[in-house]
Amino acid sequence: MTDIATMPQPVSFGRRLKRFMADRPLIPLIILLIILVVILQVLRPGIVNERWLANTAKFAIPLAILAGCQTMTMLTGGIDLSVGTVATMSAFIMATQIVNQDPAVAFLLAMLPAVLIGLVNGIGVGVFRVHPLIMTLGTSLIGTGFLQVYQRTVIASGAKIPDFLNWLGTGVTYGFPNALLLFVPVAVLIVFMLNRTGFGRLLYAVGDNERAARLSGVRYWQVITALYVLSSLLAGITGLLYIGLIKAPSLSLAEPLVLPSVAAAVIGGTSIFGGRGGYTGTIIGALILTVLTTLLTILQMPEGGRRILFGFIVLFVTAAYLRIVEDR
């Protein structure tokens, strides 16, 4: 700072505000979320009510869990693009197997591809050092291919959505969506894991400085393999929740959620370069994206225009947010 003449006080208000924001990165996110809700209410008075809140939560939850997968992998400097395929596979297998199988068996069959893909991702990234982007994209394509083959074999038996998943995905009890029964424990678990367990610490450490982690005795492949299996498992469970919400099994069920899940983690302040971020920000990021989608829908713009605007807003919000919280 050389232009001291223009600054009568040692620390300007703007600078203090910036420091405040940098120490509490959630606050600007919450402010943004509130602003979006207020805009929505102004554009369409009365829209923000109990039903709308429950509905928003229902659609934000699957996105938030998938964004949890991205948060964890991004902390290590990776990314998991296979979450969409994994979620779709477990949903599709569940819906088709439940027709002839015991629910527990159907559930296990549904989670099997999730575990396998997670394991392959983890070994590919952790042992063979394939770039996570390529690795998870590859397994995602392979998974989609397998799903198409599988579809032929079950085409005769049809599909149905289990009642329980229906209840979990769409049901509302006392104004609260039932999906919260799944989401709250999952969110608490992820936050606890990241902050208070050895594994969580290692995710940050590996992403921040892999060499330092190695010199401290951390075996990279163990951390990465466990991480991608966990990420895939969460994605598989999200698939089951999502099929209860959408109610129409298809081969691209959860695919549209993949990139928004990355965006939610980034908006929530997790660095794609690893070592920095957390899950609470990601949850708010997922809420922001969901509200933003509603907002753009009620603007009654054509689909193309909506997408363009969505993209611009995501870019703008992320850039602005990083400027606010990075303390330079």
Partner 1 sequence: MTANPLLDATGVAKNYGAVAALRNASLSVLPGEVHALMGANGAGKSTLVKILTGAIKADAGRILIRGQQLDVRSPAAARRAGLLPVYQEPSLIPDLDVLSNLRLTGTPVEAFRAWVRELGIPDLDIRETARHIPLAILRVLDLARALAVEPDVLLLDEMTAALPANLAEKVLEVVRRQGDAGRSVIFISHRFVEISALCDRATVLRDGSTVGVVDIEPGIEERIVEMMLGARIEKTRVTARAANEVAIAGGGRPRLSVRNLQLGTKLNDVSFDLANGEVAGVFALEGQGQDELFAALAGSIRPTGGSIDVDGAPVKFSHPSDAIQAGIAYVPGDRTEALAMQRSVRENIALPFSAALRKWGPIRMRREQVVVSGAIGRLQIDTRAQGEVQRLSGGNQQKVTIARWIAANARTILCFDPTRGIDVGTKQEIYKLLRELAGQGKSVLFYTSEMEEVQRVCDRVIVIFGGRVVDTFPVEEADEPALMRAAYGLPRGAKADVGILAEVKPGSNAEAAS
Binding positions for partner 1, rule: CB under 8 A: 23, 192, 196-199, 201-202, 204-205, 208-209, 211-219, 222, 226, 275-276
Which CB sits closer to partner 1, 214 or 307? Answer: 214
Bridge partners (DSSP) of residue 172 are 177
Smallest gap from Cβ 245 to partner 1, in A, equals: 33
Q: Are 238 and 250 in contact (CB under 8 A)?
A: no
Which position has the token pair 């193309």? 304
**Structure-token pair, residue 215:** 């010199």
Which CB sits closer to partner 1, 59 or 220? Answer: 220
Which CB sits closer to partner 1, 180 or 218? Answer: 218
Which position has the token pair 């197997």? 97
Smallest gap from Cβ 205 to partner 1, in A, equals: 5
Which CB sits closer to partner 1, 143 or 275? Answer: 275
Q: How far apart (Å, rounded) are the C-alpha atoms in residues 198 and 79?
A: 21
Smallest gap from Cβ 196 to partner 1, in A, equals: 6
Residues 6+ apart with CB under 8 A from 325: 21, 22, 25, 28, 269
List the one residue out of 282, 287, 278 whose CA is nearest residue 267: 282
Smallest gap from Cβ 228 to partner 1, in A, equals: 15
Which CB sits closer to partner 1, 208 or 255? Answer: 208
Burial of 171: CB neighbours in 10 Å, binned 0-12, 13-18, 19+: middle
Which CB sits closer to partner 1, 213 or 289? Answer: 213
Q: How far apart (Å, rounded) are the C-alpha atoms in residues 166 and 173?
A: 13
Which CB sits closer to partner 1, 146 or 221? Answer: 221
Smallest gap from Cβ 264 to partner 1, in A, equals: 21
What are the angstrom distances between the C-alpha of 183 and each of 103, 112, 161, 187, 213? 21, 21, 20, 6, 31
Find the radius of gyration of the CA atoms of the chain.
21
Smallest gap from Cβ 120 to partner 1, in A, equals: 20
At residue 15's C-alpha, the angle toward residues 12 and 21, to 5°, is: 140
Smallest gap from Cβ 211 to partner 1, in A, equals: 5
Which position has the token pair 């659609």? 59
